Amino acid sequence: MLGELHIKNFAVIRDMEINFAPGLNVISGEEGSGKSLLVDALSLLMGARAPAGLIRTGARSARVEAVFWPDENTTSRVSPILEENGIEHDESGILVISRDFQEGGKSVARVNNRAMPLSFLRQVGKYLVDIHGQMEYLSLLEPAHQLALVDAYGGLLEKRRAMCDVVERLRMQEKEMAALGSSEREGYVELLEYQIEEIDRAGLEDINEEELLAERDMLRRAGAICEGCLNSYSNLYGDDRSASVLIHKTLASLRSICSIDPSLTSFKERLENDLASIEETAAELRDYSEKIENGQGRLEEIEQKIELISSLKRKYGNSMESIMEFRNKAMKELEGIQGRQERAALLEAEKLRLRAEAARLAEELSLERRQAAEQLVRLVNEEMAELGLEWARFDVTLTHREDPAGLCIAGNKCFAFTAEGIDRLEFQVATNPGEPVRPMAAIASGGETSRLVLAIKSALKIADPIPTLVFDEIDMGVGGRGAESVGRKLATLSSFHQVLCITHLPQIACYGDAHFKMVKEIDSGRASSRIEIIDGQSRLKELAAMLGSERNSNVMLKGAEALVKNAERWKNGARELIAV
């Protein structure tokens, strides 16, 4: 709730500090005393733009600051926003918002002593305060907030959270599926498979390219090699003039004389060994020439293999190593895609399941929201009648937008959806007899509108999570009996929220749990406003002054006493009923 409000050098306020209480805080005072400045100051702290001339004449700067005491619900909503923006807050959860204004129109906004833009004040402020009388800061104007209120009123928050969880998981599935499918354009998998098969079919892992080229070069010169081998064979063994024939003749001569001269035996033995080597070499040369002559089929095979390698180099790399690197990379990518395809199939099945679950929840939510909205409409219209707005009308519209990509409800039409379901919900009102209902954002501000908002807030007193409600000009056009109804509504509402109410009517002020009086004083020709909390006799005097002229002060005091007693008696009974 709002704990403290400090205002300095703001218009006619020189220096003012207010400590608000839980429950209903009533603020009264004469016309022009500066009561509306309190609302203006709060609006500035909620992100309103500063008007010209707000700095008190003679001062060089102005400052407004508010201290908010935490409650569990508000802390859970505000803390994540603070953390996302790097704003520290202690364990107590106290939140301090301030704005400093300088001459020339410059201002600085701070949250927990950290400078922040006005947009951040508006983001945080909508969870802290609703100002009724300045419609631009009223959360009830936001369709998203209206939908949340109907869900809270209808006890649908758990189902709403379930819907939000399902849609969040569905979005994550779709995002992952989109990422998986980004590299799987048509034919890409088939291309990878063909490239890998083409490289594997070449059998490069069993080929030494240098040896293959050398063998090809040799086979291309097979004729010359065969001719040389055969000539060598003839010279060694193949005719009558060959080396082997001549050695045989030499050995015959040596054998005939070795018996005469045994010392020649060593020459004979060496020639016999040389003859065996020559005959063996001649046989090998003859065999090799036959092998070369029969190897033309092998040459054709080598030529084809070398051409295949050249073709693969043109496609995949300038070396066999590069070709194999390409193949291994393609295989890794293919395995990854195949794994993603399997994952995609699982995701698709899960997506269908989640869409079916989301459609079921959305349909149930929509039906139950319609029921809750109908109940809320009846209750708000009853509340408005009790506040003297019998001619005003309140309604809630629920609409859907067809979308082929949306959720299909009951297998029929498909509707666009969000994390909250398929419904577009809006509060609509008619503030004058005979007028059609219009969106709340289109209505003008003023006392009647404040009572309309009070009726809605009263109906939603348990469901509305905003802790502090401010009502300004709520008594505009309200008579005595109507004022009493307004006072009771505010008192009832203050059992669920902290309420600040500026009023001129004692029938409303008497229901306050804390009563503040704004006083304007003239000192040395300068006007200055101050505020004081009044209680006991001073409060009775203020209520008496609000009732009538000072000439009948005793009568007015008795009237004030009666108002307070009746109000206290009513509040005690009402709060006992609420407690039960």
Q: Does residue 570 register a pLDDT over 80?
A: yes
Least confident window among 134-138, 433-437, 445-449, 462-466: 134-138
pLDDT band at 333 (very low <50, low <70, confident <90, very high): confident
pLDDT band at 580 (very low <50, low <70, confident <90, very high): very low
For residues 478 and 389, the answer to whether their CB atoms sit within 8 Å is no
Amino acid identity for residue 520 in this structure: K
Residue 208's pLDDT is 77
Residue 187's pLDDT is 75
The residue with tokens 């209520």 is 543
Q: How many CB atoms lie under 10 A from the CB of residue 149?
A: 26
Q: How far apart are CA 2 and CA 20, in angstroms?
A: 7
pLDDT band at 97 (very low <50, low <70, confident <90, very high): very high
Residue 346's pLDDT is 84
The residue with tokens 């007015």 is 556
Residue 501's pLDDT is 93
Q: How far apart are CA 497 and CA 457, in angstroms?
A: 10
The 3-state DSSP composition of the chain as helix, strand, coil percent (nearest 5) reads 60, 20, 25
3-class secondary structure, 394: strand
Instruction: Pick 118 or 482 by higher pLDDT.
Output: 118
Average pLDDT on 348-377 reads 93
Residue 166's pLDDT is 93
Q: How many CB atoms lie under 10 A from the CB of residue 14?
A: 19
Least confident window among 119-123, 223-227, 311-315, 525-529: 223-227
Closest to 517 (Cα-Cα) out of 530, 501, 498 = 530
What is the secondary structure of 146-206 as a DSSP string? HHHHHHHHTT-HHHHHHHHHHHHHHHHHHHHHHHHGGG--TTHHHHHHHHHHHHHHTTGGG
For residues 152 and 465, the answer to whether their CB atoms sit within 8 Å is yes
Average pLDDT on 225-243 reads 72
Average pLDDT on 239-259 reads 78
Q: How far apart are CA 155 and CA 372, in angstroms?
A: 9
For the stretch 508-549, pLDDT in tens is 999 999 999 999 988 777 888 999 999 999 999 999 998 876
Residue 552's pLDDT is 63
Residue 235's pLDDT is 75
In 387-467, alpha helices (H)? 447-459
Residue 38's pLDDT is 93
Q: Does residue 578 register a pLDDT over 50?
A: yes
Mean pLDDT, the chain, integer: 84
Q: How far apart are CA 187 and CA 193, in angstroms?
A: 10
Which long-range CB contacts under 8 A does 217-225 form with residues at least 24 apart?
219/292, 219/295, 219/296, 219/298, 219/299, 219/302, 220/299, 222/292, 222/293, 222/295, 222/296, 222/299, 225/289, 225/292
For the stretch 383-434, pLDDT in tens is 988 888 888 899 999 999 999 989 998 767 899 999 999 999 999 998 878 8
Could you give all domains of the chain from N- to C-terminal order, each with its CATH number?
A: 1-134+445-580 (3.40.50.300), 188-332 (no CATH)
Q: Does residue 332 register a pLDDT over 80?
A: yes
Share above pLDDT 70 across residues of the chain, in percent, rounded to a whole number: 90
pLDDT band at 446 (very low <50, low <70, confident <90, very high): low
pLDDT band at 181 (very low <50, low <70, confident <90, very high): low
Q: Does residue 374 register a pLDDT over 70?
A: yes
163, burial (CB in 10 Å: exposed 0-12, middle 13-18, buried 19+): buried
Closest to 82 (Cα-Cα) out of 71, 69, 93 = 93
Q: Does residue 134 register a pLDDT over 60?
A: no
3-class secondary structure, 28: strand
Q: Does residue 107 register a pLDDT over 60?
A: yes
